[in-house]
Amino acid sequence: MKKFMNRAEDMVAEGLSGFVAAHDDLVAFGPDRKFVRRRALTPGKVAVISGGGAGHEPMHTGLVGTGMLDAACTGHIFTSPTPDQILAAIAECDTGGGAVLVVKNYDGDVMNFEMAAEMATARGHRVETVVVDDDVATTSSGRSSGRRGVAGTLVVERILGAAAEAGADLAALKALGIAAVDNTRTIGVALKGVTVPDTARQTFSLGPDEMEVGVGIHGEPGRSRQAFRRADELAELLCAEILDRAPFSKDQPFLLLVNGFGATPVAELYVAYDAIRRALRPRRLSIARSLVGTFVTSLDMAGLSVTLTGLGAGRQALWDSPVRTAALRWGM
């Protein structure tokens, strides 16, 4: 296996060092390098904190900055950060407004963030948690109870980060987060599994004419293995997967996010975006905002995910408001 690294066990720490050095105008390490935080915190603002295992970059560290996260905690590859990392981030970033934790619905993440929230509450911090479960392909898996949290997590972090920047309090952010999750659904598809540096093995293998539908972001196989399809046919399949299972009202503006899993060329993501837009036209959804790129990865998986988020009830204005992070930047 060839990777641009020194030792597999040092890959996460060295990657974080490089990230902070490259973006030191935006971010800094917290004490003992337990997390990455904004370089400048805002007194009295609710802190928005998230995190997860490495291997999903630029999420979550690349989303730390104005209009998004105050801090991100990173575990080893595909492994939750520890409660002490999360607790340290809460203690550092709670400047008087409390903290809201954005957690992907994986059992390890949920357990460790819950433990940290309990410890922080015992120390006098006010903490709320928003669990993201946008993946329509799962009701349960070996890593989660219920639907998994996948690329829609980015959208929830953006909406909550924007609202916190505008001065929303903890109760309002909790309610907004629940509404954002309820209006967000995602489906993923892969053409190649993930090569995990520690093991040097792919998590699953596909034949030359196969694709995996319903994959997660930790290299998990999907819900079904199907014959490979051209872009237009795949777009029809993915749109139907989301909309047949979406509980949200279709009578609102939508954000369409086409996200690469790490090894998919940008040109292919735009082909997929074009096909999905055309597949949505007869379904009469209004696509008001779009985001195409590699944001929520699964190391070197070849594949993509499609996310639809309803932007009603003021969520569009929050999405549009200024943001300045390593991975997302507009309006500033």
One-letter amino acid at 288 equals A
What lies within 8 Å, CB to CB, of 283 at 6+ separation is: 239, 243, 250
C-alpha span between 146 and 124 (Å, rounded): 31
One-letter amino acid at 108 equals G
> Cα separations (Å) of 117 from 25, 49, 71, 110, 126?
29, 11, 15, 10, 9
Residues forming the active site:
56, 218
**Residue whose C-alpha is closest to residue 89's, from 36, 167, 127, 157:** 36
- 206's tokens: 């596909």
> Cα separations (Å) of 305 from 162, 238, 248, 299?
24, 9, 19, 14
C-alpha span between 236 and 229 (Å, rounded): 10
Spell out the long-range contacts of 5-14 with Cβ–Cβ below 8 A and sequence spacing 24 or more.
5/197, 8/197, 8/198, 9/198, 11/54, 11/77, 11/197, 12/54, 12/74, 12/75, 12/76, 12/77
